Amino acid sequence: MAAFGTSGLRGLVEELDDGLVYGHVLAFLRYLEELREFAPGGAVLLGGDLRPSTPAILEAAWAAVCDAGGRPHFAGFLPTPALALAGFQRRVPSLMVTGSHIPFDRNGIKFNRPHGELGKADEAGILDHLAGIPVPPRDEQGRLRHRPVLPAPDARYADDYLARYRSCLDVDALAGLRIGLYQHSGVARDLLEALLAGFGAEVVPLGRTEEFVPMDTEALRPEDKELAVRWVREHGLDALVSTDGDADRPMLADEHGSWWRGDLLGLVSAQILGADAVATPISSNTALERSGAFAQVIRTRIGSPYVIAAMDELREQGYGRIVGYEANGGLLLGSEIPWEHGTLTALPTRDAVLPLLAALREARRQDRPLSTLLAGLPQRFTSSDRLQDFPTQLSRDRLQRYQGAEGCDHFGEDFGDLCGGHPLKLDYSDGVRAFFPSGDILHLRPSGNAPELRCYTEADSASRAEELLRGALARLSRWRSPGEA
């Protein structure tokens, strides 16, 4: 069932009808009007990803902006961070129609206030306004009777996003690199090609399709792992890059065709940018603390609102170069950060392009293979995947077994043979995260934006992390059956 939360409005395409979309957008703007962050006559930016359901949702959202008295501007089909940057710079609300990485039959809307993403405290205010939204006139199919036609997109919003990086790096910053670009159906596929080529790289476009591919950077499909190895070998690539559908999660494979884990890309990027403080969720690789590279580290619950709140806390503590990242690889800047010949303005939302550029540029600057950037990190390895079509409430019910004084004992009974004994402790910050004497970590949690049960592992070797993940998933799959645990 469609649901509204900090990630925005998400649900099955068949549930996201015109009335539901219209109501949530109008409630969002009325909430902002209450906060004096929007007024009739004010601008609202709209953009979307390449899902086939996106244009219809944009049209319903456009109608709601008009009925709220706003002036909608169509930024086109562009990365989520590009739209967010445009809204933050102009101090106006923005709406991104995207399902991000979730399955093809779903979609959603991400809402941004003029100064940043929605926070947890905003949810109740928007839902309060939703209750009073009148039902708009619709036909027998549930479509708005007065449906707008989207205008041609305004290219300046995407151009401003590209200028953010072009102002920092020379035109030959990536010269000599042969980079494969896995385009699939990602909204940044053309933009990223232009950006990499503009920095002197030889770009090899690969895998473009007009059918939408839901690319989850924390649960890559086996075929994508095989493609990376084959493409790197066949085309003599120094790297292979891509993003998820709306380009807030990066994908980077090195010269061996090995996809980097997003949290390691985030860690490397934070080092390259000279961060003195880092915020990241508890599911990110503990090589972060073991590296000793940062004066302060804050661990959060999973989700960008929590990372953003932690970055705000770090700024209040007086840190000047603040970076946040998530295990999916999305990088957030909590402060201005000088980089080479320019300065990156703060962008407190997930971005896929910056970490890709940072790693590629650093490899080129050092004139070393990309894989060597990971060699100096503490050797801890993570893996992750999920069970799809796993009801959220069922996940919560199953994990309830590990609450309370006997939680460690119960977790040990269920998973101890996989992990070498009972856990030393459990962390309940987000789901259940178990720490074992062997150094293994097993983390279970319901997804926040899809009916999925997610599983994360960490160990001293890549093979062990993968072995633990597969063993845990096999056990978790039995949770679907009544009475199994």
Determine how many CB atoms are found less than 10 A away from the CB of residue 122: 18
pLDDT at residue 414, as a whole number: 94
With b meaning 16 or more CB within 10 Å and e meaning fewer, what string describes 181-206?
bbbbbbbbbbbbbebbebbbbbbbeb
Tally of CB atoms within 10 A around 485: 12
What count of Cα atoms within 13 Å lies in the side-chain half-sphere of residue 106? 21
DSSP H helical ranges for 9-166: 18-34, 54-67, 80-90, 120-130, 156-166
Q: What is the DSSP letter of 361?
A: H
Q: What does the pLDDT read at residue 121?
A: 87
What residues does 144 pair with on adjacent strands? 138
**What are the distances in angstroms from CA 426 to CA 264, 298, 326, 407?**
24, 18, 21, 8
Distance between CA atoms of residues 346 and 333, nearest Å: 5
Q: What is the DSSP letter of 338?
A: E
Of 38, 158, 28, 29, the residue nearest 86 (C-alpha): 158
Alpha carbon separation from 263 to 229, 232, 297, 398 (Å, rounded):
21, 22, 14, 27
Angle in degrees, CA 404, 482, 395, rounded to 5:
50
pLDDT at 147: 86
Q: What is the largest CA-CA distance in the chain?
A: 63
Question: Helix 18-34 vs helix 54-67: angle between axes, to the nearest 10 degrees?
Answer: 40
Alpha carbon distance 399, 97 (integer Å): 32
Helix (H, G, I), strand (E, B) or coil at 295: coil
Q: How far apart are CA 79 and CA 433, in angstroms?
A: 32
Task: Classify 452 as helix, strand or coil.
Answer: coil
Q: Is 242 considered catalytic here?
A: no
Instruction: Identify the CA nearest to 384 among candidates 220, 178, 225.
Output: 220
CA pair distance 477, 485, nearest whole angstrom? 9
Q: What is the pTM of this model?
A: 0.90
List per-residue pLDDT tens for the chain, 485 residues long.
677 776 788 889 999 999 999 999 999 999 999 999 999 999 999 999 999 999 999 999 999 999 999 999 999 999 999 999 999 999 999 999 998 877 778 999 999 999 999 988 899 999 999 988 887 887 777 788 888 999 999 999 999 999 999 999 999 999 999 999 999 999 999 999 999 999 999 999 999 998 888 888 888 888 999 999 999 999 999 999 999 999 999 999 999 999 999 999 999 999 999 999 999 999 999 999 999 999 999 999 998 999 999 999 999 999 999 999 999 999 999 999 999 999 999 999 999 999 999 999 999 999 999 999 998 899 999 998 989 889 989 999 999 999 998 999 999 999 999 998 899 999 999 999 999 999 999 999 998 777 899 999 999 999 999 999 999 999 999 998 755 54
**Residue 192: what pLDDT?**
97
Q: What is the pLDDT of residue 7?
A: 73
Spatial distance between the Cα atoms of 113 and 165, rounded to a whole number of angstroms? 24
Name the catalytic one among 7, 94, 100, 283.
100
Cα–Cα dist 397/392, whole Å: 9
Task: Specify which residues 130 forms β-bridges with.
Answer: none
Provide the sign of the torsion angle of the four alpha carbons 113, 114, 119, 121, taken in this order. Answer: negative
The reported pLDDT for the residue numbered 484 is 53
Phi, psi of 403 (to 5 degrees): -85, 160
**Cα–Cα dist 468/419, whole Å:** 7
8 A C-beta contact, residue 360 and residue 369: no
325 within 8 A of 270, measured Cβ to Cβ: yes
Q: 189, 218, 209, 187: which is closest to 99 by C-alpha?
A: 187
